[in-house]
């Protein structure tokens, strides 16, 4: 190790023996080496580095392209189970005629984390969708486009991928409530790639 040229000799003395052996093998340090790298050695590694970097960047770009999804939901009265001693009648008195029926969902999933954005329309109102798809599950918040509207709903959506990988469709449920939490709705959801 003491015969390696400077500054490598000083660095190798400061690190452990196994690490030094790995570094020596990687740099090709030997008794006959000099401080100047040969032109053949410096040019032979450049094409390898460029070739290995090119596929990674093209793969990253392909993974960041947004994927469009669309589908539907069917909203119904969502069950609420308050404690028995609360004697709460708010949810049992809900006639279940408002905010029920079918609607549409459009999503876009992109980025390395699977950032999800979109919108939901129909009997639950106009909602913005924001969440994350991890390749298996999509978890998203549902927020009203107009939070001050009397019929504004807020909630969440949880979908699981099926038919893959990568998944061909997403299925699950969403659950929302009105601003005063007197109306609670849930819906089955099914989405497919456009």
Q: What was the pLDDT predicted at 158?
A: 98
Tell me the per-residue pLDDT of 41-96, one tens digit each, with 9 for 90 and over: 444 444 444 444 444 433 334 557 899 999 999 999 998 888 888 777 777 778 88
Q: What is the pLDDT of residue 63?
A: 55
Domain extents for the chain? 8-63, 66-193
Residues of the chain falling short of pLDDT 50: 1-2, 4, 6-27, 29-30, 32-33, 38-61
Six-digit token pair at 61? 């770009």
- Rounded CA-CA distance 142/87 in Å is 30
CA 108, 110, 116, 117 dihedral sign is negative
Provide CATH code, domain 66-193.
2.40.160.90
Chain-centroid distance of CA 13 in Å reads 45
Instruction: Measure Cα distances from 97 to 94, 113, 151 in Å.
Output: 8, 39, 13
- pLDDT for position 36: 52
Does residue 182 contact residue 90 with C-beta atoms inside 8 Å?
Answer: yes
């Amino acid at each position: 190790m003491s015969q390696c040229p400077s500054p490598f000799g000083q660095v190798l003395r400061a690190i452990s023996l196994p690490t030094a052996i790995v570094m020596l093998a990687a740099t090709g340090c030997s008794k006959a080496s000099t401080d100047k790298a040969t032109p053949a050695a410096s040019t032979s590694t450049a094409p390898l580095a460029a070739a290995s970097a090119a596929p990674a960047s093209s793969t990253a770009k392909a993974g960041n392209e947004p994927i469009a999804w669309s589908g539907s939901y069917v909203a119904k009265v969502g069950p609420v189970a308050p404690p028995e001693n609360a004697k709460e009648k708010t949810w049992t008195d809900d006639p279940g005629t408002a905010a029920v029926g079918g609607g549409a969902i459009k999503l876009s999933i992109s980025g390395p984390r699977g950032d999800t954005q979109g919108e939901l329309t129909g009997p639950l109102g106009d909602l913005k969708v924001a969440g994350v798809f991890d390749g298996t599950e999509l978890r998203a918040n549902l927020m009203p486009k107009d939070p001050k509207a009397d019929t504004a709903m807020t909630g969440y959506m949880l979908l699981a991928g099926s038919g893959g990988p990568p998944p061909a469709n997403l299925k699950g449920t969403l659950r929302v409530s009105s601003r005063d939490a007197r109306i609670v709705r849930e819906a089955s959801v099914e989405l497919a790639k456009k």
